Amino acid sequence: MTPPHLPVRPIAPDDPAVAALAAIEEAAGPMFAEVMDISHWSPAPSGEQRLQRPGFVLVAGDPPVGFAHVLDLGGHAHLDQLSVHPDHMRRGTGRGLVTTAQAEAARRGHPSMTLSTFADIPWNAPFYRQLGFREIDERDAPEPVRELRERERSAGLDGGGRRVIMSVHLATSTVEPRPAVSVIPLRDGPDGVEVFVQHRQSTMDFAAGAVVFPGGRCDPGDVAAGAGIPLRPEVEAEHVRRWGRWSPTPSDPLEHARTLLATGLRELEEETGLVAPPSALHPWDRWITPAIVPKRFDVAFYVLPVPHEAPGQPQHRTSEATRSGWEPAGRLLADLSAGRLTMLTPTRVILEEIVALGAVATVVGHRPVITGVRDDRPDGRPRASDPSGP
């Protein structure tokens, strides 16, 4: 469900791609030179040197444009290096390498993966937070990782800024995703489309500290509630059709569509106090948490126009967030890029698509094809409109 955008494969010592690893890593050096002194950094190790250490190396592309090196430190998986050639950044290659590395580490039986990185450089810790990694106290890290940090300090690496250890749990067996719904309230603002978002508590066990849209998982009562929602026949038919590419196909597509709608309406009222007309929620997207994550959701997203003059407005009413409110979608993305906030990949991709469409009326009228296939390439969105739409 989450294929990387370039083919990612493991390599052996006799693979021709081994010769390209050092050059890819060295090409990224100038990016760090813009924010710190790297004159004392050692040259990148050769691919042969990397392959001599316990663990595995993955490359993206043929010829390779990026690689991930995961060390086996006494039975613990540690992402030692992620490098993507600057000419191929911001195309999902890094994400593809990391998620594939996580899957391979899980396949090998590792329950978690760590890494050491700069806390405040956008393409370091903020990037890994988007992929589920969380900062941990160095004292809680496995001993081999603590020893690695000591070697980093001795080499003067900390002179470039605060270094942190991050960790992510891996699912060593497939966890069935739980159905959930998220609603994206929208309105036009002076700086473009505004969205109503929540800033999650840092103590939550899912999307901790991240910016999210209101929503939650489907409850058993949502089935009965969905059956009783008054819907015009044409609206009901559109919802069934728009969610019709769900796989595996629900045994009762009508019940499925109504249950999702009931969940969205309930979660919206519980978390924001907003009671929305059922016909105002428009099916928008579907994302499934990768199989490598222990806690998984199959999330249906709706967009909901809420004009400034509407009598009911969403409010901050959930204890799961420190605050909630209207914020320009473009500013949220800028803050993400600058490392000032965290969000999961679906939130980022949806915000980018909304910004690209430019206005609430355009968003609502777009009616994109919903397939459930992740696509976070810059050229992957906006998606095509559903050709069978009204």
Residue that finishes a domain, picked among 125, 144, 169? 169
Say if residue 137 is in the same domain as residue 266. no
Q: Residue 334 has which token pair?
A: 């800028």
- Asked if residue 1 belongs to a domain, the reply is no
* Percent of the chain scoring above 70 in pLDDT: 93
pLDDT for 88 equals 81
Query: Around Cβ 89, how many Cβ atoms within 10 Å?
Result: 15
Query: Around Cβ 230, how many Cβ atoms within 10 Å?
Result: 9
Say if residue 120 is in the same domain as residue 184. no
Q: What tens-digit pLDDT sequence spans the chain (390 residues)?
A: 333 457 899 999 999 999 999 999 999 888 888 888 888 888 999 999 999 999 999 999 989 999 999 999 999 999 999 999 988 876 778 888 998 999 899 889 899 999 999 998 888 988 898 788 999 999 999 999 999 999 999 988 888 899 999 999 987 667 788 999 999 999 999 999 999 999 998 776 667 778 999 999 999 999 999 999 999 999 999 999 999 888 788 899 999 999 999 999 999 999 999 999 999 999 999 998 877 777 789 999 999 999 999 888 999 999 989 999 999 999 999 988 777 888 888 998 999 999 999 999 999 999 999 987 666 555 678 888 987 655
- Asked if residue 131 belongs to a domain, the reply is yes
Say if residue 216 is in the same domain as residue 293. yes
Place of tokens 């603002």: 189
Say if residue 247 is in the same domain as residue 274. yes
Nearest to 83 by CA among 100, 71, 97: 97
- Asked if residue 375 belongs to a domain, the reply is no
What CATH number did the domain enclosing 291 receive? 3.90.79.10
- Asked if residue 76 belongs to a domain, the reply is yes
Residue that finishes a domain, picked among 106, 138, 169? 169
Say if residue 232 is in the same domain as residue 92. no
Say if residue 150 is in the same domain as residue 183. no
Say if residue 82 is in the same domain as residue 229. no
Say if residue 204 is in the same domain as residue 251. yes
- Asked if residue 295 belongs to a domain, the reply is yes
Question: Pairing mode, if any, of strands 192-200 and 321-328?
Answer: antiparallel
Structural domain containing residue 97: 8-169
Number of domains the chain contains:
2
Say if residue 190 is in the same domain as residue 165. no
The sign of the torsion formed by the CA atoms of 138, 144, 150, 156 equals negative
Say if residue 14 is in the same domain as residue 70. yes
- Asked if residue 374 belongs to a domain, the reply is no
| Each residue's pLDDT tens digit, 67-82 | 999 999 999 999 999 9
Separation CA 274–CA 311 (nearest Å): 10
Separation CA 48–CA 359 (nearest Å): 52
Give the global pTM.
0.71
Say if residue 240 is in the same domain as residue 276. yes
Say if residue 204 is in the same domain as residue 275. yes
- Asked if residue 372 belongs to a domain, the reply is no
| Each residue's pLDDT tens digit, 335-373 | 887 778 888 889 989 999 999 999 999 999 999 999 876
pLDDT for 373 equals 66
Residue that finishes a domain, picked among 169, 202, 233? 169
What CATH number did the domain enclosing 85 receive? 3.40.630.30
Cβ-proximal residues to 273 (8 Å cutoff; 6+ apart), any chain: 312, 314, 315, 317
- Asked if residue 234 belongs to a domain, the reply is yes
